[in-house]
């Protein structure tokens, strides 16, 4: 009997010791959120603006019997176009390409050489029409553009990113509430693509009396992000 009492007493001592050192609380472990319990959402933000810059290219093509004559004539013509662009207020004028190649007539026989030279230029949207007219008047026979954009494009994109984060949080809060949970900290965030998306408002037109109409319309700068939140 004494031996049995000693065994029971030893068992009670082990249980007491286990309580002292803090064995896992099974009830508390069941109430805690599972590890890796998260929600991932996509947020989208955008900023609408009216373009204030225009990017265009202007070129001259000339044809002469010899390659040298074509290049010389083209150089003279292009100088006039560049000077006209500068006088019209063009910025960031830069050569895009220079080329010379033989050409043939409709019967497939050699018909001399063609030389081409093209430059890109930037201007305010309000000056774009006058720029085109000035270049054509000076002899440009190749014109492309305008590509419309904003001089503060990076600033607008950052604003769109900020709105995208707020949109992601709002979406995640809806999902968490529907699941009877609340949001915790952000565990990851990744940036998606971004691009200016033009859409046109034909009620807006450039003023002045230039013969080339330019319609700037409006432009939307959008940003997309993916965010993961923990759930509580």
Note whether 154 and 29 are within 8 A (CB): no
Q: Model confidence over 39-76: pLDDT tens digits?
A: 999 999 999 999 999 999 999 999 999 999 999 999 99
Q: Model confidence over 180-220: pLDDT tens digits?
A: 999 999 999 999 865 555 443 333 333 345 467 777 778 88
Query: Among residues 129, 125, 133, which one has the least CA distance to residue 216?
Result: 125
pTM above 0.75, yes or no: no
Confidence band of 151 (pLDDT split at 50, 70, 90)? confident
> For residue 217, what pLDDT is reported?
78
Complete domains list, the chain, with CATH: 31-50+153-231 (3.30.110.170), 53-149 (3.30.70.2970)
List for the chain the helix, strand, coil content (%; round to 5): 35, 40, 25
Average pLDDT for 78-94: 95
> For residue 9, what pLDDT is reported?
40
Helix or strand (DSSP H, E) at 94: strand 91-104
Dist CA 232 CA 226 (whole Å): 20
Average pLDDT for 134-149: 93
């Amino acid at each position: 009997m004494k031996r049995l009492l000693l065994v029971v007493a030893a068992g009670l001592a082990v249980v007491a010791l286990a309580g002292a050192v803090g064995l896992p609380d099974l009830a508390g472990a069941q109430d805690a959120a599972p590890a890796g319990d998260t929600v991932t959402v996509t947020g989208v933000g955008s900023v609408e603006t009216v373009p204030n810059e225009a990017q265009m290219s202007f070129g001259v093509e000339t044809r002469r019997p010899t390659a040298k004559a074509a290049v010389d004539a083209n150089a003279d013509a292009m100088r006039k176009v560049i000077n006209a662009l500068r006088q019209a207020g063009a910025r960031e004028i830069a050569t895009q390409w220079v080329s010379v190649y033989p050409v043939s007539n409709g019967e497939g026989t050699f018909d001399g050489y063609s030389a081409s030279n093209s430059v890109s230029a930037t201007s305010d949207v309000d000056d774009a029409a006058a720029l085109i007219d000035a270049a054509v008047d000076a002899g440009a026979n190749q014109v492309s553009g305008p590509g419309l954009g904003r001089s503060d494009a990076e600033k607008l994109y950052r604003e769109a990113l900020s709105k995208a984060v707020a949109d992601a949080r709002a979406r995640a809060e809806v999902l968490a509430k529907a699941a009877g949970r609340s949001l915790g900290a952000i565990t990851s965030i990744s940036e998606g693509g971004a691009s200016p998306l033009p859409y046109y408002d034909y009620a807006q037109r450039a003023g002045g009396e230039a013969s080339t109409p330019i319609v700037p319309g409006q432009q939307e700068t959008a940003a997309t992000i993916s965010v993961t939140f923990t759930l509580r």
